[in-house]
Structure 1
Amino acid sequence: MVAPSKSTDATSPRKGAHYWITLAIIGLIGGLLSGAFGVGGGIIMVPLLITFVHMDQRRAGATSLVAIIPTALVGSLAYLANDQIDLVASGIIAAGAVIGAVIGSMLLRRIPLVWLRWMFILLMLLVAVRMVLLVPERDGAVDLSVPVVLGYVALGLIMGIASGLFGIGGGVIAVPALVAIFGASDLIAKGTSLLVLIPTGIVGTVANLRGHLVDLRAGVVVGVAAVAASVPGVALALLMTPRVSSILFAVLLVVAALQLTVKAVRVQRKDRTPPV
């Protein structure tokens, strides 16, 4: 079992203004992307927290999950106001996601950091490829059936595990799946995904708090900033065509993955360098 990170670098009360401003900027970026693409924003916030705040992968994921909760709440309300949420699908997916979030949070405390880094990078690249290949339809609708319900539960489990494990909310999995597998429109998929992220984020955060993985103050600062940007993000989503939305999101994922790859390689080289 891997012991939780106890680095005081991310939790020290003596952080300067630059630290908190950086967190706020990360939140603004994450919130804008959350509203625009129907994700929690963690897929971008985690790499930014690692790169600019110097959190390790484990703490960055857990802290990002805190910020996702209020961001998803405000974003989902904006989608709901535009009648772009499938409430029934949200409830079914959330049931599986809550269980998955607990499993993911347990795995987070046990998987080595180096594995987490490369698993997260691989996830981003796979989702980016899927988004490029995907051609969403704005008028897609889903009829409930037993296979669809079972599929929703399975999607929720996968989404929850990713949420607890990577601190990404799971929206990057839910949105492509709802569009490509279940035939939902891109806006319905985004709104439904955001609504599911609320209980998923809460359950995962509670588990992470018990494991002492979360920088709660940093998460709150990022979350408050993200909330401010989430509604403009939803407005942007309504303006973008489905194809443009998919391509832009894929580009963001690739850039973030490349950035994390460079950092991961540097860390591994440093770890392998014998002390002088």
Structure 2
Amino acid sequence: MVEWVLYLLLGAAMGTLGGVFGIGGGLIAIPALGILFGLDQQLAQGTALVMVVPNVVLAMWRYHQRNRIELRHALPLAGAGLIFAFIGSLVAVELDPKAMRLGFVVFLIALALYNVLQMFRAKTPASAQLRYPWPWLGVLGAGAGLLGGFFGVGGAVLATPVLTVVFGTTQVVAQGLSLALAAPSTAITLATYALHHHVDWYLGLPLALGGLLSISWGVKVAHALPEKLLRGAFCGFLVVCAALLMVKA
């Protein structure tokens, strides 16, 4: 019982962060599960997905309530993401856990550096409208879904900066669309990991419950933060996650 309470509290902390950054909490859950509970990379990713899937669905709904997610934008993202997440997850479950962990570290550091560089570039004003035609979102969905399925993070962490920088959306709109991409892709990725016995349900279920209780608070905080601060915090968050994974690797 005490273990479940601790897992519940941990899930609540992760859910809050997931709501703030629009990523469902997976990025912080994966290194935390590896370091705190000694899970290998695949098991950490699969167990984190138990929490991520319901958190992503709830966070997407909360974002939609505050900033309507356009269906014609969400569908190409979600459809392509679903297909390619399945492909990525099939590859991931067969790889060496240590190699995967190092790959994840490189991925997070590269993504953080990319975000930092974009923060200091001169940019056109962001808006809720796309800078490029919406069918190009299918290409983004494919790439983000593939990496999301491979690393068990749903693809939102990649889609969010691309939507802000390339497609010119605001951070909040980008996070809402990224959650629409992540919802189906995380579900198919979880199913793949579960079928290959890379999920600890006893640990994952209380994490999921804690996340569901707190993620709405995280979404509320995200909408209250200034745009520049939210982007900067997102970059710092990626670096912290990479550092945690390097400690374990």
After TM superposition, the score normalised by the length of structure 2 is: 0.92
- Which of 113, 119, 122 lines up with 2:97 in the alignment? 113
Greater Rg over alpha carbons, structure = 1
In the alignment, structure 2 segments of 5+ residues that lack a partner are: none
Count residues in correspondence: 245
| Native 8 Å contact 2:112 2:239 kept in 1 | yes
Does the alignment pair 1:139 with 2:127? yes
The residue correspondences of 1:49-60 to structure 2 (distance < 5 A) are 49-60=33-44
Measured after TM superposition, the shift of residue 156 of structure 1 is: 1.2
Answering whether residue 112 of structure 2 is matched by residue 128 of structure 1, we say yes
- Counterpart of 1:13 in structure 2 is none
Q: As a proportion of its length, which structure holds more helix?
A: 2
* CA offsets 1:164-190 (integer angstroms, 9 cap, x no match): 221112111010011111111111111
The structure 2 residue matched to 1:227, chosen from 200, 203, 212, is 212
Q: 1:158 aligns with which of 133, 143, 168?
A: 143
Counting aligned pairs with the same residue, the percent is 28
* Aligned residue number for residue 221 of structure 2: 236
Contact 2:131 2:168 in 1 (8 A): no
Which residue of 54, 60, 85 corresponds with 1:101? Answer: 85
1:173-184 to structure 2, matched below 5 A, reads: 173-184=158-169
Report the secondary structure of 1:134's partner residue.
helix
Q: Give the letter for the 1:204 counterpart.
A: T
- What is aligned with 1:77? 61
Per-residue deviation, residues 8-51 of structure 1 (Å, max 9, x unmatched): xxxxxxxx623x34432332222112211111211111001111
| Structure 2 residue aligned with 1:64 | 48
Contact (CA 8 Å) 1:124, 1:254: kept in 2 or not? yes
* Equivalent residues of 2:24, 2:59 under 8 A apart: no
What does residue 268 of structure 1 align with? none
CA deviation string 1:54-79 (max 9, x = no partner):
21111010111121111011111111
Which 5+ residue runs of structure 1 have no aligned equivalent? 1-15, 265-276
> Does the CA-based 8 Å contact 2:77-2:180 persist in structure 1?
no
Given the alignment, which residue of 228, 241, 244 partners 1:256? Answer: 241
Q: Mapping of 1:27-42 within 5 angstroms?
A: 27-42=11-26
User: What's the CA shift for 1:84?
Assistant: 4.1
CA contact (8 A) 1:63 1:167 kept: no
Does 2:160 match 1:172?
Answer: no
Alignment RMSD, CA only?
1.8
Query: SS where residue 70 of structure 1 aligns?
Result: helix
Residue type of the partner of 1:105?
A: S
Structure 1, residues 237-260: CA drift from partner, whole Å, max 9, x if none?
111111101111211221221121
Indicate yes or no: 2:27 matched with 1:43: yes
Structure 2 residue matching 1:43: 3-state secondary structure: helix
1:202 corresponds to:
187
Distance 1:26 1:177 in 2: 30
Change (3 A) 1:158 1:23: farther
Q: What SS does the corresponding residue of 2:168 show, helix, strand or coil?
A: coil
